[in-house]
Amino acid sequence: MTALTGQIALVTGASAGIGAATAKALAAAGAHVVLTARTAKALEEVEEAVFQAGGSATIAPVDLTDGDGIARLANAVAERWGKLDIVVHCAAVLPELTAVRDIDQTQFSKALTVNALAVQALIARFDPLLKASDDPRFVHLTTSVASAPRAYWGAYAASKAAAEVLVTCYAEETRNTSKVRVAIVNPGATRTAMRAKAYPGEDPVSVKLPEVVAERLLSLLGEQFASPHRESVNPPS
Catalytic residue among 152, 156, 170, 199: 156
156 tagged catalytic: yes
Q: Which of 112, 91, 106, 105 is nearest to 194 (CA)?
A: 91
Which residues are CB-contacts of 63 (< 8 A; sequence separation ≥ 6)?
38, 69
Cα–Cα distance measured from residue 211 to residue 186, given in angstroms and rounded to the nearest whole number: 14
Share the mean pLDDT of the chain. 96
pLDDT at 235: 76
**Predicted confidence (pLDDT) per residue in 135-159, tens digit:** 999 999 999 999 999 999 999 999 9
**Residue 1 pLDDT greater than 80, yes or no:** no
pTM: 0.96
Was domain 8-232 assigned CATH 3.40.50.720?
A: yes
Contact predicate 115/65, CB 8 Å: no
pLDDT at 237: 61
